[in-house]
Amino acid sequence: MDAYNQTTVTHFILIGLSDRPEVRYPVFVVFTIIYQVTVGGNGAILLAIGTEKKLHTPMYYFLANLSLLDISCPSVTVPKMLENLLTEKHSISYIGCALQLYFLVALVGTEVFLLSVMAYDRYVAICFPLRYTLIITKVRCVQLTAGTWVAGFLNSLLHTVSTFHLSFCKSTQVNQYYCDIPPVLVLSCSSTYVAEMLILVEGGILGISSFLVTFVSYFYIVSTILKIQSAVGKHKAFSTCASHLLVVCLFGGTTVFTYVRPYSSQHFPARDRLISMLYGIITPMLNPMIYSLRNTEMKGALRRVLCHKVYSLQV
């Protein structure tokens, strides 16, 4: 069966966002704009953090990594989707599908871990402000960030191997606009029990662990903030954490729903595509707005970067 798999399945067909030909060009225009806004917004945050010395702190170091992930994640799926909308081929090679799945799962996993690290960073900053610089050092920042990237990519390697080790002799139509674990698994004609259990158990453990780190961190953060006497101090502390908590809810909730559930249950393709767009396309576009609109330092840095760019163009 493995030999059959390797010699017969050379490509997959991506269903796309809509089966209606008349909406191809409007969808292409909409997602081209969304992708450009995503890359531009997150790129501006990276530029602002890189050029502003006062933003060279652990919190903004983690935010820069988040922006890098928010550029990379849609870059894995959106360009291929836009190409398929224009050419109407809707096909992707077997190797291309495996690589797309690998990098997507790796980047999504890395972002889940990074959001937990950012929650821990806020916990230390608010609950132990005097010891913050001793606990969250530059070396510790690099170690935590490297750990999230390594864990995300190793986790993805495990799931990619378990998924593409299966035999595919059914339909090659992937009921999604990109290659992902759930829609690829349903195409297998061999048992997917091990692959499903691997995701549910291993993904569940990592997902629950990340959730617990975030939940416990914010439990202590809220407890500490409520003890602050100054209304200004409370507002500043809540403003610092509110944006991160909103991102965790948007990204974490949709990611858990997509992966940590039994695939044998009834599927609703339109709903699954919508949910995948929320964490794969919409959330990366919203993150720069969420973080910049609630952060005075970031707004000031972005304003100076944009003014400097406009001035340079005029000169």
Residue-wise DSSP of 149-211: HHHHHHHHHHHHHHHHTS---S--EESSSS--HHHHHTT-SS--HHHHHHIIIIIHHHHHHHH
Could you state, in chain order, the average pLDDT of each consecutive group of 10 residues for the chain (315 residues)?
Answer: 53 79 84 94 91 89 94 94 84 93 94 92 91 93 96 94 86 87 88 86 82 89 83 71 77 69 56 77 86 76 73 57
Q: So what's the pLDDT on residue 313?
A: 58
Query: Could you tell me which of 198, 173, 193 has the C-alpha nearest to residue 264?
Result: 193
Query: Could you tell me which of 149, 263, 140, 147 has the C-alpha nearest to residue 200?
Result: 263
Structure tokens at 241: 């954490």
Q: Is 77 within 8 Å of 104 (Cβ atoms)? A: yes
Tally of helices (H runs) and strands (E runs) in the chain: 13, 3
Q: So what's the pLDDT on residue 2?
A: 46
Q: Name residue 220's amino acid.
A: Y
Structure tokens at 165: 């080790």
Q: Name residue 255's amino acid.
A: T
